[in-house]
Amino acid sequence: MTDTVFGDSVPAVVQSAPSRFDAYDTADLWRKDVDHYIHPFTDFEVWKNEGALVMAESEGAYVYDSDGKRYLDAQGGLWCVNAGYGRAEIADAMAEQARRLAYYSPFTNTTSVPGATLAHKLASLAPGDLNHAFFGMSGSDANDTAVRIIHFYFNRLGQPNKKTIITRVNSYHGSSYLAMSLTGVAHDHIGFDIIGEPLIARVEGPDVYRRSGEMTPEEYTDHLVDGFKSKVEELGADNVAAFFAEPIMGAGGVLVPPPGYLPRMREACREFGILYVSDEVVTAFGRLGHFFASEDVFGIQPDIINSAKGLTSGYAPLSATLLSDDIYDVISVPQAPGAEFAHGYTYSGHPVSCAAALANIEILEREDLCGHVRTVGPYFEERLRTLADLPIVGDVRGKNFMMCLENVADRDTKEMFPPEVEIGRRISDACDARGLLVRPIGRLNVLSPPLILTTDQIDWLVDTLRAGIEEVTAGLEREGLWSGG
């Protein structure tokens, strides 16, 4: 990388604090944070006792805490820092746009230079006839937008009964009221209310590792598709509007679908007259080696694709809901006088975010980061799979730069550790101490690094993760929490 802050000279071991980090008063920041900042998805008890790690700076695939400790960020922020940290080019584009025109209303008949340019660019990158972009700020609001547009579409077609949205167990679609209701991760619903049937219905989602019985992967595909068809028949196809699916389920456990599953689900939707929405908030913009994964990786052409995260590589909040010509044609036909398409946000297509996205896409294209992922991704997968010899690693799965370890108490029976063992967190803590960030989700550790990762960094990451897991395993044995070794 030539436009980064530190250059290539950063050693691969945890650095001692450079003097500029003295400017951060970690204890003061820690106190302010604990007293006033409510974090998303937080165990308040742990946070109140331990506080938060204060992240201060970044470069390439690394982040630095406020004491100057360096970490290889194998989380890519939160599945999003695809182009890597410290991209001066993106920062400059944002600053330049803020100076020229920080903001103007996107409502009715005004647009911005980067907004129009980005919508055109996305139409050229998206598969098939997904030629129309609606911009929001997050993956959650992109999914809300998709539901609103789908309902508007069927209302306009004179099919007002078509309202139910079908999603899958273990899917993640966001955290607004509606997006969390679309989400099928049961853990995320604890203590909250969600919207259920008839607006949102759930079907079984693929989990190849934990599938029940003796089904082959192919039989498992049949089973899942049959389950979906039965659900549609139970609800009545005339009442079902759309099916939402991540190509690979992310937060639900990096669940790769069994062979032929997505094309068959796509086909089933077509048969029933149900719209197919690909939630590519994680998978778009290179994580699986292509700008969009639906067609290039899985061979399906959705009616709608949602994207966010890697669209700006996390430099600014932005989402894009990409609609087919057919949907656009229906929703854009004039309504009764005075009626309009009354949906949108103050910050839809924010000019600074769109400028960030354009600079980000320019980098992804110029450096062929999708090609890099296609080349290096299989090496990452192969190296991570070597961890399957560790006695608490039950499954290593995923694709390219979207990977996950499932940790288990017993590899033969796939028995899980009790939740209080917090196996994923123990491993991530052991890795943190070694300067590696891997995300704990329950019993899992998820890896979604920046797409610039080199093979040397992959080797260090895998060796460090192995050492972390070995240390945790020894600790569990000492505490009498595991004796499987």
Ligand X SMILES: Cc1ncc(COP(=O)(O)O)c(C=O)c1O
- Kindly give, in sequence order, each residue whose CB lies less than 8 Å from that of residue 132, ignoring residues fewer than 6 positions away: 119, 123, 322, 323, 324, 325, 327, 328
Angle at 303 between CA 398 and CA 200, to 5 degrees: 75
Residue 288 to residue 373: CA distance in whole angstroms: 7
Q: Considering the complex, what minimum distance in angstroms separates the CB of residue 143 from ligand X?
A: 6
Task: Name the residue nearer to ligand X (CB basis): 122 or 430.
Answer: 122
Residue span binding ligand X (CB under 6 A) among the ranges 145-153, 254-262, 277-285, 426-434: 277-285
Closer to ligand X at the Cβ: 246 or 395?
Answer: 246
Give the shortest CB-250-to-ligand X separation in angstroms. Answer: 4
- Choice between 243 and 417, CB closer to ligand X: 243
Q: H/E/C letters for each residue in 354-418? A: HHHHHHHHHHHHHCCHHHHHHHHHHHHHHHHHHHHHCCCEEEEEEECCEEEEEECCECCCCECCC
We find the least distance from the C-beta atom of residue 139 to ligand X, in angstroms, to be 2
Task: Find the binding residues for ligand X in span 156-185 (CB under 6 A).
Answer: 172-175
CB atoms within 10 A of CB 233: 11
For the record, the structure tokens of 373 come out as 């992922």
Task: Please say whether the beta carbons of 87 and 4 come within 8 A.
Answer: yes
Q: Which is nearer to ligand X, 306 or 428 (CB)?
A: 306
Number of residues engaging ligand X in binding (CB under 6 A): 16
Question: Cα 253–259–261 angle (5° rounding)?
Answer: 75
Pairing of strands 319-324, 304-307: antiparallel
How many C-alpha atoms does 433 have within 13 Å on its Cβ side?
Answer: 10
For ligand X, the closer of residues 188 and 367 by Cβ is 188
Q: Which stretch binds ligand X (CB under 6 A): 14-22, 139-147, 212-220, 450-458?
A: 139-147
Task: Find the binder of ligand X among 4, 97, 140, 324 (CB under 6 A).
Answer: 140
Report which of 185, 253, 208, 210 is spatially closest to residue 411, judged by C-alpha positions.
210
Please, are residues 270 and 302 in contact by the beta-carbon 8 Å criterion? no
The residues in 52-81 that bind ligand X, with binding defined as CB under 6 A, are 79
**Cβ proximity to ligand X, 201 vs 248, nearer residue:** 248
Beta-strand relationship, 240-245 and 164-168: parallel
Smaller CB separation from ligand X, 68 or 127: 127
- Segment contacting ligand X by CB under 6 A, of 108-116, 245-253, 446-454, 463-471: 245-253
Q: With binding defined as CB under 6 A, does residue 138 bind ligand X?
A: yes
For residues 80 and 373, which CB has a smaller minimum distance to ligand X in the complex?
Answer: 80
Q: What are phi and psi of 311, to 5 degrees?
A: -55, -40
Candidates 93, 146, 262, 281: give the one binding ligand X (CB under 6 A): 281
Site string for ligand X, 440-469 (x = CB under 6 A): ------------------------------
Q: CA 336, CA 334: separation in Å to the nearest integer?
A: 7
Cβ neighbour number for residue 27 with a 10 Å cutoff:
11
Cβ neighbours of 201 (radius 10 Å): 18
Q: How far is the CB of 80 from ligand X (least distance, A)?
A: 8
Q: Please enumerate, as own/partner, the contacts of 102-105 that have beta carbons within 8 Å and a separation of 24 or more.
A: 102/351, 102/352, 103/350, 103/351, 103/352, 104/351, 105/346
Q: Which residue number, 251 or 269, has a Cβ lying nearer to ligand X?
A: 251
| Binding-site member from 73, 279, 395, 406 for ligand X (CB under 6 A) | 279
Q: Does 250 bind ligand X (CB under 6 A)?
A: yes
**Alpha-carbon torsion (139, 140, 145, 148), positive or negative:** positive
Q: Which of residues 292-331 bind ligand X (CB under 6 A)?
A: 308
Structure tokens, 140: 């959650």
CB of 123 to ligand X, least distance (A): 21
The nearest distance, CB 190 to ligand X, in angstroms, is 18
Instruction: Select the residue interacting with ligand X from 246, 295, 303, 406 (CB under 6 A).
Output: 246
Q: CA–CA separation, 189 vs 199, rounded Å?
A: 17
Q: How far apart are CA 216 and CA 260, in angstroms?
A: 13
Minimum distance from residue 48 beta carbon to ligand X (Å):
24
Residue 255 near ligand X by CB under 6 A: no
> In this complex, which beta carbon is closest to ligand X, that of residue 119 or of residue 282?
282
Nearer to ligand X, 4 or 313 (CB): 313
Q: Which of 60, 139, 205, 394 binds ligand X (CB under 6 A)?
A: 139
Q: Which residue's CB atom is positioned nearest to ligand X?
A: 139
Q: Is 136 in the site for ligand X (CB under 6 A)?
A: no
282 part of the interface to ligand X, by CB under 6 A? yes
Contacts with ligand X by CB under 6 A lie at 79, 138-140, 143, 172-175, 246, 250-251, 279, 281-282, 308
